[in-house]
């Protein structure tokens, strides 16, 4: 069985290559060149991945997808900030690059399966009668949240070699035992194309964002202060507002047409429901009103019991069992 493996040059994908080979797969390692100078696209990345493949005796290719990454990930990131939304570039990268273009490359190379070093499971479910994505055994490292956008037709071809490991130290120990030089390589947890984490500087330098002063107002429209550009603020933010007020104030939202930041008190951040578009159903064919799920509104959030309801135009409404803090226009995941 042939499998194409996305390799970043890190310990997770390197150990994945080792495990797949031991399981009898014919492994082809692929490193995607996405953005020059990023934390995952540099000379060390390519060399580390290629050296691991040489050590294991498997083929390795480096593929240039910089143009596609710009189109699907960076341009989307910039567009979201222009519209006061909070993007998650990993979601778009998974959809279009890691499980989109790489799947096409897998078919081109005659590979039946596609693998990555994500902490998640892909296995057949008797309940749903199909192969589905599940949470990994590691609750702290689980990455199933960022896999909701994987094209449905790709799921049956997925393999996640790290699905049953409980922690990262187990992975590093396997790497050390097998003399993989990346065993102690630090994790990369930043947005790969903004390694210094300064997304404001990135938007200003790469997309010509500039300070456009406007009003900070409460929900009644009363002017409380001035802001220095909508892109500098996020829902739930408290620090940096520069407002003297008897009670702490938080960013509740934005009025783009008026160039206003809307603020309010902490209790106003809590909501009981949200509406979702760009729905990707992986375990079921349709949403049935009242369907019970657990929903995460951000990667680090705890899943909350909730129910789904169909709306028009392929949209759904999520009603939470308890109020949720700081809902923002971003990707969410629902688990059955």
| Residues belonging to the active site | 93, 192
Which tokens sit at 281? Answer: 């159903």
Return d(Cα 137, Cα 305) in angstroms, integer. 20
Count CB neighbours of 197 within 10 A: 11
Return d(Cα 181, Cα 40) in angstroms, integer. 17
Closest C-alpha to 143, from 27, 13, 329: 13
Return d(Cα 133, Cα 121) in angstroms, integer. 6
Q: Within 13 Å, how many C-alpha atoms sit on residue 99's CB side?
A: 24
Which residue carries 């240039």 as its tokens? 64
Count CB neighbours of 301 within 10 A: 15
Q: Pairing state of beta strands 223-227 and 214-217?
A: antiparallel
Return d(Cα 228, Cα 56) in angstroms, integer. 53
Burial, 135: exposed, middle or buried (Cβ in 10 Å; 0-12, 13-18, 19+)?
middle
Return d(Cα 86, Cα 78) in angstroms, integer. 10
Return d(Cα 172, Cα 311) in angstroms, integer. 46
């Amino acid at each position: 069985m042939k499998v194409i493996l996305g390799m970043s040059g890190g310990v997770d994908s390197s150990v994945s290559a080792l495990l797949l080979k031991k399981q009898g797969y014919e492994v082809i390692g692929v490193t995607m060149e996405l953005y020059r100078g990023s934390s995952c696209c540099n000379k060390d990345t390519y060399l580390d991945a290629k050296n691991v493949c040489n050590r294991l005796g498997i083929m390795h290719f480096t593929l240039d997808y910089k143009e596609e990454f710009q189109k699907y990930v960076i341009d989307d990131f910039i567009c979201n900030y222009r519209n006061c939304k909070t993007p998650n570039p990993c979601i778009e990268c998974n959809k279009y690059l890691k499980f989109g273009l790489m799947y096409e490359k897998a078919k081109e190379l005659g590979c039946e399966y596609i693998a990555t070093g994500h902490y998640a499971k892909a296995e057949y479910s008797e309940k749903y009668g199909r192969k589905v994505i599940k949470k990994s055994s590691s609750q702290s490292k689980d990455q199933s949240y960022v896999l909701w956008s994987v094209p449905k037709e790709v799921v049956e071809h997925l393999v996640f070699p790290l699905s049953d490991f409980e922690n990262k130290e187990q992975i590093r120990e396997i790497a050390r035992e097998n003399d993989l030089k990346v065993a102690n390589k630090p994790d990369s947890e930043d947005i790969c194309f903004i390694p210094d984490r300064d997304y404001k500087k990135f938007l200003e330098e790469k997309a010509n964002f500039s300070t456009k002063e406007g009003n900070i107002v409460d929900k009644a429209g009363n002017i409380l202060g001035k802001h220095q550009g909508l892109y500098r603020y996020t829902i739930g933010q408290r620090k940096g507002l520069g407002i003297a007020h008897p009670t702490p104030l938080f960013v509740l939202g934005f009025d783009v047409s008026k160039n206003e930041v809307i603020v309010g008190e902490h209790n106003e951040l809590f909501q009981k429901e949200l509406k979702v578009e760009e729905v990707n159903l992986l375990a079921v064919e349709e949403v049935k009103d009242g369907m019970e799920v657990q929903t995460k509104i951000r990667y680090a959030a705890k899943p909350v019991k909730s129910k789904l309801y169909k709306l028009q135009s392929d949209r759904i409404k999520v009603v939470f069992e308890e109020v949720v803090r700081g809902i923002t226009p971003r990707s969410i995941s629902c688990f059955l």
